Amino acid sequence: MPTVLYEVKGNYAVMTISRPKALNALNSEVLNDLNAALDAIDFSTVWALVITGDGAKSFVAGADIAEMSTLTPEEGEAFGKKGNDVFRKIETLPIPVIAAVNGFALGGGNELAMSCDIRLCSDNALFGQPEVGLGITPGFGGTQRLARLVPKGIAKELIYSAKNIKADEAKAIGLVNAVYAQEELLPAAEKLAAKIAKQAPIAVRACKKAINEGLDVDMDKAIVIEEKLFGSCFKTHDQIEGMDAFLTKRKEKNFINA
């Protein structure tokens, strides 16, 4: 895709938003390319995904303001839906997704990162939802995911005031898992992706489904979701292989996603 680079590395892949002259800002072309790249993933062999931005300055600086500035209310809603559809696709991918946030993650960039399962960032990262300063609301899930990831009062403060926060504060409030030096970020994200991809993929995918679906219902219903997914793992090749390796004290495991 012209604005999205995709590289498979064994059982994980790296997807890079590449519009560096615009700090990787999201316009319709980028969203279309990202959507197409996601649709092209072969989940039979790719068991984890890293998403990052091109260059050392910006993950994704936000949605493209030049494109948004002339939109009608109807066009604005449609543009929001386009972004939400892509980010929801990321959120519900069967495989774990790691955001390697290498710089600015503002507006749509923060929303993209929040649609991923795990967020790692560089020490020069900057997070925020600056939309109210532009006369709009966050439109790609910012009002919903931020308040689910950090304390509600903090989410409201950040959104209402358009305040940006640095990497250390993002980690302190739980928005990111870890902070790395710029040159260490992508290797760390890839190392984590590779570690995830060494586990039984059927089990990892079931865990993601259980967490995501369970958080949307009460505990009694959530436990049922877990029970069914737990049961679905049995008599699969990967369950038999994993338990046999444990019982025979065998380090090497041949997981095949079946």
- The structure's pTM equals 0.96
Residue 25 per-residue DSSP state: -
Residue 96 token pair: 């774990």
Three-state DSSP state, 165? strand
Contact indicator for 16, 54 with CB cutoff of 8 Å: yes
Question: For 61-106, how does the pLDDT look when each residue is reduced to its tens digit (9 = 90+)?
Answer: 999 899 999 999 999 999 999 999 999 999 999 999 999 999 999 9
CA distances to 55, 79, 110, 218, 236 from 166, rounded to whole Å, are 18, 28, 12, 34, 44
Question: For 111-160, how does the pLDDT look when each residue is reduced to its tens digit (9 = 90+)?
Answer: 999 999 999 999 999 999 999 999 999 999 999 999 999 999 999 999 99
Q: Domains of the chain by range and CATH?
A: 4-197 (3.90.226.10), 201-247 (1.10.12.10)
Instruction: For 44-76, give one letter per residue: b (16+ CB within 10 A) or e.
Output: eebbbbbbbbbbebbbbbbbbeeebeeeeeeee
CA distance 28 to 12: 27
What local confidence, expressed as pLDDT, does residue 1 receive? 79
Query: Which residues form the catalytic set?
Result: 111, 131
Q: Pick from 142, 99, 97, 139: which is nearest to 121 by CA?
A: 99
Question: For 38-58, how does the pLDDT look when each residue is reduced to its tens digit (9 = 90+)?
Answer: 999 999 999 999 999 999 999
